A and B are shown apart, each in its own frame.
Chain A
């Protein structure tokens, strides 16, 4: 793998990570729970 290919792949990974973090922050507002932080776990399925 050349340095150029590595740079491209790395940037792609960074973009995915940033998008995912942004989406997560945005989705949190729609479901005001405390997400997956220390105290609380997964979102519940509604009955």
Chain B
């Protein structure tokens, strides 16, 4: 049979490769060990990208067959059902159905299933089998099933479904050889599993199927799967990049739904239960429920504490404290080490080159700019380590469970907690994490307030300001942590406050649903957390080595040119430079906040990325430092003066600047991602305006009230 071109895409034009290796899609419920399996299969051969138009992460990796042949594996977002309820699930659905023009429909499907929770996991498998593609079922967590006293028989499942079933313990790498062998097979059987569509619905399925073949150019098998799906997919989630249905098919579908509604028939419910009936019969054959494990499991015992009315809050608070304290104490040693080496490098360059512009560019531009950012790598790694750890152990879901009531007070749900928590690392993964939120208004509100959570790019600014604010080395750590905590608290409080305001005014809606699985606690996969950290470290370093290096070089130029006449002091040089002109132009707006034009240069450059502020200050103030030695930035800041000799970085100004950074929207990357996510310039512009406006007003209040009080 000749399939339409979009279903069987032409093989890429590579001269050497004889036949295209099959493309596998990896699908499964959330929390079934899917990413662990993906990591185990592909190791470091992964590429993380994005599906165009949506902020859903696209992960593609290369696995090797037993014969060393490369196999492409697409890791699709976790889904409970192909009847998508969130953009995440919509991407999985669209890729599997061949609805996305940017991703070829996978040739084969790897379904990963949690053996301890077979029935619910088989629901997705059951839908996937309808697609008529070769399927391999990976029965993961066999060890945990055995621990729970359950007996699971993979052979019987293979027999029932008619597809290969590979028992596996992805965390320990068990079963991977068998899986690779199965994946290398040239031929894979199609499922023999027969399933009767309930009689009352069958005519509708047939009619929609026929229309999909005729009007939407689908192959008959895919059309059948899709028609079954359309019937449970009420007000379906559409995401950018997905091909819409033809008008005719939509019409037929609406006609049937209208007729059934009039007859008071529960068509969706009937379809779901007939699937579960079929699954129930399979599960009865495959699983012998545990007789032993009737008492509370270790997970239940942990939950009794972690979700306890009092201990639950204490645990949550302790976890957050642990994260923040670790960022300060553990990171200090590697940071000092990096600092020393950067200073040594700059001194070495100064010693070995004749004075001149190129030398200044290397030391004051490149080294101090990139160095000022690279130094924060240890802290960012620690933050991502904890976030990865909380996610892989299952605690994140408990945090959402505990926080849901509080979040619902401001009109959000517990699921917004995870994106907001991730935004402490960076607003971009935070905004990407909103893809699991079903309600569009909830998603939008979460996106709008997520950048108020203090991201790690603000950390360098806070740290620098705290260092300038409390210059004495003997200031106790608790004071520094306390001020940092205050900044994080302010951002968090503002995020909740604005969410409340937006839900009440701009984006009114019904209280959204909150259906969430609480996965059993698991030992974190060291490899998964490690890979996650490595990925972030690499992205961060590449960013420092490319964008930030480029910006630092350009910034050096803007502060070094046009050249002042010979004999001018460094500050006269800077004042007359391009950067100085921009800073002077901004000064009238920020002078009421206690900021001068030099800080203005920092604020402007922060729009590239907030941490650039630190490198800008490095460029701006090191230009005034003595030629012989690279002065630490902190002491350079403390030497800075207004023209009338007043100190520039007074404690009050440092504090106001921190407040400004808590609230201001100064990140082009975030603006770009919000634009793409909301599909218009309206929301990113609104967001930039409300955040930066709040920042200005609050920084003004801090400075003017503080001065009034005599600080």
**A residues with CB within 8 A of B:** 1-3, 5-7, 9-11, 13-14, 17-18, 20-21, 24, 28, 31-47
* Most interface-central of A3, A17, A18, A35 (chain B CB within 10 A): A17
Least CB separation from B609: chain A residue: A37
Which residues of the partner chain A approach B455 to less than 8 Å between Cβ atoms? Answer: 38
How far does the Cβ of A24 sit from chain B's closest Cβ, in whole Å?
A: 7
Given A1-B356, A10-B357, A41 and B426 contact (CB-CB distance below 8 Å): no
Least CB separation from B384: chain A residue: A38
CB pair B49 A44 closer than 8 Å = yes
CB pair A38 B547 closer than 8 Å = no
Which residues of the partner chain A approach B546 to less than 8 Å between Cβ atoms? Answer: 36
CB pair A42 B48 closer than 8 Å = yes
Given A7-B356, A41-B47, A47-B23, A21 and B428 contact (CB-CB distance below 8 Å): no
Least CB separation from B433: chain A residue: A39
A5 to B672, CA, bound (A): 40
Q: A11-B557, A39-B429, A44-B47 are in contact. List 15 more A-B contacts (CB 8 A).
A: A1-B356, A5-B356, A6-B357, A9-B358, A11-B357, A13-B361, A14-B554, A18-B557, A21-B551, A34-B55, A34-B676, A38-B427, A38-B539, A39-B57, A41-B535
For residue B103, CB closer than 8 A to chain A, the reply is: yes
For residue B399, CB closer than 8 A to chain A, the reply is: no
Least CB separation from A9: chain B residue: B358
For residue B556, CB closer than 8 A to chain A, the reply is: yes
* Most interface-central of B457, B535, B539, B551 (chain A CB within 10 A): B539
Which residues of the partner chain A approach B58 to less than 8 Å between Cβ atoms? Answer: 44
Least CB separation from A35: chain B residue: B669
CB pair B50 A36 closer than 8 Å = no
How far does the Cβ of B620 sit from chain A's closest Cβ, in whole Å?
A: 17
Least CB separation from B457: chain A residue: A38
CB pair B52 A33 closer than 8 Å = yes
Which residues of the partner chain A approach B669 to less than 8 Å between Cβ atoms? Answer: 34-35, 37-38
Which residues of the partner chain A approach B104 to less than 8 Å between Cβ atoms? Answer: 47
CB pair B672 A21 closer than 8 Å = no
Q: Digitize B630-668: 1 where CB-to-A-CB distance is under 8 Å, 0 elsewhere.
A: 000000000000000000000000000000000000000
Given A17-B554, A32-B53, A34-B428, A42 and B353 contact (CB-CB distance below 8 Å): no
| Those 9 A-B pairs whose CB atoms lie nearest each other, nearest first | A6-B356, A38-B426, A39-B428, A41-B48, A44-B49, A10-B357, A6-B358, A37-B669, A39-B429
Which residues of the partner chain A approach B543 to less than 8 Å between Cβ atoms? Answer: 36-38
14 residue pairs A–B, Cβ–Cβ below 8 Å = A1-B353, A6-B359, A9-B358, A10-B358, A11-B357, A13-B358, A32-B53, A34-B428, A34-B672, A34-B673, A36-B546, A39-B673, A41-B47, A47-B12
Given A34-B669, A39-B432, A42-B49, A21 and B550 contact (CB-CB distance below 8 Å): yes
Which residues of the partner chain B approach A11 to less than 8 Å between Cβ atoms? Answer: 357, 557
A22 to B540, CA, bound (A): 20
Which residues of the partner chain B approach A3 to less than 8 Å between Cβ atoms? Answer: 354-357
Which residues of the partner chain A approach B9 to less than 8 Å between Cβ atoms? Answer: 47
Least CB separation from A28: chain B residue: B672
Least CB separation from A1: chain B residue: B354
Which residues of the partner chain A approach B547 to less than 8 Å between Cβ atoms? Answer: 21, 24, 36
A40 to B360, CA, bound (A): 34
Given A32-B52, A34-B669, A44-B58, A13 and B429 contact (CB-CB distance below 8 Å): no
Q: Which residues from 667 to 711 on chain B have a C-beta closer than 8 Å to any C-beta of chain A? A: 669, 672-673, 676
A1 to B358, CA, bound (A): 10
How far does the Cβ of B348 sit from chain A's closest Cβ, in whole Å?
A: 17
Q: Digitize B534-567: 1 where CB-to-A-CB distance is under 8 Å, 0 elsewhere.
A: 0110011011001101110110110000000000
Least CB separation from B23: chain A residue: A47
Q: Digitize B36-77: 1 where CB-to-A-CB distance is under 8 Å, 0 elsewhere.
A: 000000000001111011010110100000000000100000
CB pair A14 B553 closer than 8 Å = yes
* Most interface-central of A24, A31, A47 (chain B CB within 10 A): A47
Least CB separation from B558: chain A residue: A14
Q: Digitize B429-441: 1 where CB-to-A-CB distance is under 8 Å, 0 elsewhere.
A: 1011000000000
Which residues of the partner chain A approach B354 to less than 8 Å between Cβ atoms? Answer: 1-3, 6
Which residues of the partner chain B approach A39 to less than 8 Å between Cβ atoms? Answer: 55, 57, 426, 428-429, 431-432, 673
For residue B179, CB closer than 8 A to chain A, the reply is: no
Which residues of the partner chain B approach A7 to less than 8 Å between Cβ atoms? Answer: 356-358
A23 to B360, CA, bound (A): 25
For residue B285, CB closer than 8 A to chain A, the reply is: no
Q: Which of B47, B428, B556, B672 contacts A42 (CB 8 A)?
A: B47
A32 to B354, CA, bound (A): 44
How far does the Cβ of A44 sit from chain B's closest Cβ, in whole Å?
A: 4
Least CB separation from A43: chain B residue: B49
Least CB separation from A44: chain B residue: B49
CB pair A41 B353 closer than 8 Å = no
Which residues of the partner chain B approach A45 to less than 8 Å between Cβ atoms? Answer: 47
Q: Which of A2, A31, A34, A47 contacts B72 (CB 8 A)?
A: A47
How far does the Cβ of A29 sit from chain B's closest Cβ, in whole Å?
A: 10
Which residues of the partner chain B approach A9 to less than 8 Å between Cβ atoms? Answer: 357-358
Q: Which of B49, B358, B425, B556 contacts A33 (CB 8 A)?
A: B49
